[in-house]
Amino acid sequence: MQEIHQQLQDTIQTLYRKSIDADQALDRLQQDQKGKFAAIFPAEAGFSTQAKRFGPYVEEVTRDWQALKETNEDEAKVALPDLVKKIEMMLTTLAHFQATLNKG
């Protein structure tokens, strides 16, 4: 389980760095009267957070990971797939957003 936690930590650090860049780009778009939306992920995506920036979602993933570290191994195995799903959604969305910015 230690190896999984190390991989999660590394991935969350990557998410954090990418989210800072994405949030700055979103700030610029909003200043240009673009990027008008209610939240990055819809309510049914599995996040309890509803935000217009990636940072709050990274915070939620980090909280989930911290909670996972404090559970026993059986509970962790049950909670891990939901955490991984959130991380995959964020990585995919961040990559798509970055690709869209590079096209524009």
For the stretch 9-41, pLDDT in tens is 999 999 999 999 999 999 999 888 887 788 999
In terms of C-beta density within 10 A (0-12 exposed, 13-18 middle, 19 or more buried), how is residue 73 classed? exposed
User: Which residue has better confidence, 44 or 104?
Assistant: 44
Please give the share of the chain, as a percent, with pLDDT higher than 90: 83
* Domain boundaries, given as residue ranges, for the chain: 2-103
């990557």: which residue's tokens?
14
User: Which residue has better confidence, 80 or 37?
Assistant: 80
Tokens standing for residue 47: 């996040």
Task: Find how far residue 13's CA is from the centre of its chain.
Answer: 10
Q: What is the pLDDT of residue 74?
A: 95
Q: What is the pLDDT of residue 104?
A: 67
The answer on pLDDT for 96 being more than 90 is: yes
